[in-house]
Amino acid sequence: MKEIILDEADYRENLFPFTLTREIADIRVGIFTLREKWEHFFHYRVAGTGTSPKITHTLPANIIPSKKLVDFLESEHTLHSAIPADLCLNKIDYPWQIFELNDREIRNDFLLITMGRKTAQLSTTNRVISPENVFLEPGANVEHAMLNASTGPIYIGRNAQVMEGAIIRGPFALCEGAQVRMGAVIYGATTVGPWSVAGGEIKNSILFSHSNKAHTGYLGDSVIGSWCNLGAGTTNSNLKNNASGVRVWNPYRNTFLRAGLKCGLLMGDYSKSAINTAFNTGTVVGACVNVFCDGLTPTYFKSFTWGETARYEFDKAIQHISKWKKMSNESLTEAEIRTLTHIFEQP
């Protein structure tokens, strides 16, 4: 397998809060992460910053790989050539673009993962529109659900489950081991990452791995990191009442960035909300935040915040994360603790 270096230097800060705890290559958009797209479908291993005889190119880490880009990389005499501008347009510059690009990326990934393969059998208890656009991996369990794939493909991953009464409109991706709860209403373009849980009403949103939005409440035009939990009744606003543009806070730039007409909740890893939390339009939540407050939330929560403004004690945060992970038969690694320590120590 060829190797490729993904240069993050100029892009990490703009993708806050998701780059606090992961490389850009591990951001999920569509069905897969950028790393998975490079490695599983285009056969380029994402290498470190060292040198290797297998390394062929260094590219911006926020570029989403495509067949056209890979064809260019594999053409002759391109090692030191500038990438044509039209091949660099497919990229994630800001966190809200993760949900803005999710429709296109689910469709692209669906074609890649299903090419030349046959879907597992879908139970006849379901009502399906455009079944040719529905693909189930082995072990997927879907019963008494309504699936409308006329508006985009529906992908159900290995050992994933869609419970009875769920209504799903594509494009939609339910990744390995993930679950859609009874009676959920899910609009495209939505991705539920590996071992995450989705319930209530969701639209045009991405949950990374091991996160829970299991209960009633609305999640729209949002990105939720890993190991997050939205308490029952949690709802976010994604559109301002005066229909003006949404501004999103970036602590590295110490300013608001314009995110367009719609932007909901951008929540970093290991963060949670209390029951009936009402998230303001364009709210940014850092890592390890426990959100609870009266009325609409502030639009920015610094990492390791308890409530609205109090400091989340580091030892307590680690204890709480460890308990959440234990519920999924996982444990907090030394590498994760080092990362969280670094975040906690930032001014």
Q: What is the pLDDT of residues 243-282, one digit of tens each?
A: 999 999 999 999 999 999 999 999 999 999 999 999 999 9
Judge contact between 95 and 15, C-beta under 8 A. yes
Q: Is the dihedral of CA 5, 87, 207, 10 positive or negative?
A: positive
> Rounded CA gap, 233 and 332, in Å?
28
3-state DSSP assignment of residue 39: helix
Q: How confident is the model at residue 4 (pLDDT cuts 50, 70, 90)?
A: confident
More confident residue, 80 or 177: 177
Q: To the nearest whole percent, how much of the chain has pLDDT over 70?
A: 96
Alpha-helix runs per DSSP H in 1-145? 34-36, 67-73, 96-100, 102-114
Give me the mean pLDDT over the 231-238 stretch. Answer: 97
Question: pLDDT tens digits, residue range 311-339?
Answer: 999 999 999 999 999 999 999 999 999 99
Cis peptide before 274 (omega within 30 of 0): no
Looking at residue 74, its pLDDT comes to 81
Residue 78 has pLDDT above 70, yes or no: no
Give 206's contacts (C-beta < 8 A, 6+ positions apart): 28, 29, 98, 99, 102, 190, 191, 193, 222, 223, 224
Looking at residue 68, its pLDDT comes to 87
Residue 29 has pLDDT above 70, yes or no: yes
Give 253's contacts (C-beta < 8 A, 6+ positions apart): 13
Q: How confident is the model at residue 79 (pLDDT cuts 50, 70, 90)?
A: low
The full set of domains in the chain, from first to last, is 2-93 (no CATH), 104-344 (2.160.10.10)
Looking at residue 337, its pLDDT comes to 97
Give 15's contacts (C-beta < 8 A, 6+ positions apart): 24, 27, 62, 92, 93, 94, 95
Looking at residue 64, its pLDDT comes to 95
Give me the mean pLDDT over the 202-218 stretch. Answer: 98
pTM metric for this prediction: 0.95
C-alpha distances (whole Å) from 251 to each of 285, 301, 312, 345, 347 are: 11, 10, 18, 15, 11
More confident residue, 334 or 67: 334
Nearest to 106 by CA among 42, 158, 170: 170
Nearest to 340 by CA among 236, 261, 242, 226: 226
C-alpha distances (whole Å) from 77 to each of 81, 207, 324 are: 7, 40, 51
Q: Which two tokens stand for residue 301?
A: 């929560």
> Rounded CA gap, 131 and 122, in Å?
9
- Angle, nearest 10°, between helix axes 334-344 and 314-327? 140
Residue 219 has pLDDT above 90, yes or no: yes
Looking at residue 85, its pLDDT comes to 79
Question: pLDDT tens digits, residue range 113-130?
Answer: 999 999 999 999 999 999
Looking at residue 231, its pLDDT comes to 97
Residue 77 has pLDDT above 90, yes or no: no
Residue 225 has pLDDT above 90, yes or no: yes
Q: How confident is the model at residue 83 (pLDDT cuts 50, 70, 90)?
A: confident
Cis peptide before 95 (omega within 30 of 0): no
Q: How confident is the model at residue 51 (pLDDT cuts 50, 70, 90)?
A: low
Give me the mean pLDDT over the 211-216 stretch. Answer: 97
Nearest to 104 by CA among 133, 64, 132: 64
Give 30's contacts (C-beta < 8 A, 6+ positions apart): 37, 101, 102, 104, 105, 106, 107, 108, 109, 173, 191
